[in-house]
Amino acid sequence: MTTNRRAHFNPIFSITLAVASALMRIEAVKQAIQTLPITPRVLANLRETARLFSTHYSTMIEGNRLTREQVALVIDRNRQFPGRERDQAEVKGYYAALDEVERLTKRRESISEATVQRLHALVMGGGKTRLKATRYRDGQNVIRDASSGAIVYMPPEAKDVPWLMKQLIIWINQNDDLPVPIKASIAHYQYATIHPYYDGNGRTARLLTTLILHLGTYDLKGLYALEEYYARNLKSYYEALTIGPSHNYYVGRAEADITKWVAYFIEGMATSFEKVRDQALREAERGRKDQSKVLRNLDAKQRRVLTLFQQSRVITAKDVAELFGYRPRTATLLCQHWVEARFLEIIDPAKKSRRYKLCDTYEAIVDEIE
């Protein structure tokens, strides 16, 4: 049994009152976040946290065993965890794919099949970036229940995948009045339905979703991680994706009403957006209240060293030595004193490559230094 190759992708869904309400919540946050007085450095820190969250939760959904803290160590310091080599490769791959999403967003390019194949290559590439776009699967794959082994979903046959992917990309790029969040939700669903690869489909589907939202100006300054919403309740995520009368793609799934999935996705997006708004409000309020008082508590050397953090998020004792004309040992002792005084924080403890960042209290004021 095969698909009708002359049929175009035409998703069936309804915009319910709940979906409409969630869309309005998303728009309200989108407008509010643009006017929040967040300094560029705080914004950069929040954005990096969101990227780490996206990486952690998206790979966790697929069974990755690294904790959120370990993911940060793998990304920031290339930390190795014996016995977790595959998990580390997955984390590096997803983070590299997020970089690609950011690059594509800046270039404002239309999404193509090559785009999706490139994202998948990065997901599976373990952090490597010089990779060829991956071809679609050449055989049948199935999704099984991890505990029972029973077939949960049987995707379309390999010979139908190129046509289905072509139709999906055409649909994504067509000009219509469909709200961007709904378009992203449907693209996520349809990509997962086609399951064009043997592995990496879930992660690539979530990256494609993010790219569609960012290109559609729903990037929210890169501060949110939809993956956390999915991972917090995987049962609901999979139940929302499980639509149709049969586990077989050709027995109803292609023509199924996907309103249930759309409602789940839009509610998750609204929830994630509101979480970002609340966090950003707290950061903005803290910055406004603390700046003048904190600056007065710094001595002359501390004020001067803040200028280094305007150029880089992290510094070394060598940077401090060059700034003040100190000997290496003197600069090292000064940095150690600042760590004890909770002015600096060590992010790489290795003696030869020890690096420091500002403690959170001082992050918000860096961009105010002239």
CB 13 within 8 A of CB 256: no
Residues 153 and 253: their CA atoms lie apart, in Å, by 10
Q: What is 17-281's CATH number, 3.30.390.30, 1.10.3720.10, 3.40.718.10, 1.10.3290.10?
A: 1.10.3290.10
What does the pLDDT read at residue 2?
47
Q: Give residues with Cβ within 8 angstroms of 72, minimum separation 6.
A: 52
CB 124 within 8 A of CB 134: yes
Residues 370 and 367: their CA atoms lie apart, in Å, by 8
**Residue 149 burial (CB count, 10 A):** 8
What does the pLDDT read at residue 313?
80
Domain boundaries, the chain: 17-281, 297-368
Q: Does domain 297-368 have CATH number 1.10.10.10?
A: yes
In the block, residue with structure tokens 């105010």: 368
Closest alpha carbon to 63 in 43, 33, 23, 90? 90
Burial of 260 (C-beta count, 10 Å sphere; 0-12/13-18/19+): middle
What does the pLDDT read at residue 1?
43
Backbone angles phi, psi at 317, to 5 degrees: -60, -30
What does the pLDDT read at residue 280?
84
> What is the full per-residue pLDDT of the chain (370 aa) written as tens digits?
444 445 678 899 999 999 999 999 999 999 998 888 777 667 777 888 899 999 999 999 999 999 999 999 999 888 899 999 999 999 999 999 999 999 999 999 889 999 999 999 999 999 998 899 999 999 999 988 777 888 889 999 999 999 999 999 999 999 999 999 999 999 999 999 999 999 999 999 999 999 999 999 999 988 999 999 999 888 899 889 888 778 889 987 878 899 999 999 999 999 999 999 998 888 777 655 545 566 677 888 888 898 888 778 889 999 999 989 999 999 999 999 999 999 999 987 777 778 999 988 787 677 555 4
Burial of 78 (C-beta count, 10 Å sphere; 0-12/13-18/19+): exposed
Which pTM value belongs to this model?
0.78
**For residue 356, what is the enclosing H or E element?**
strand 355-358
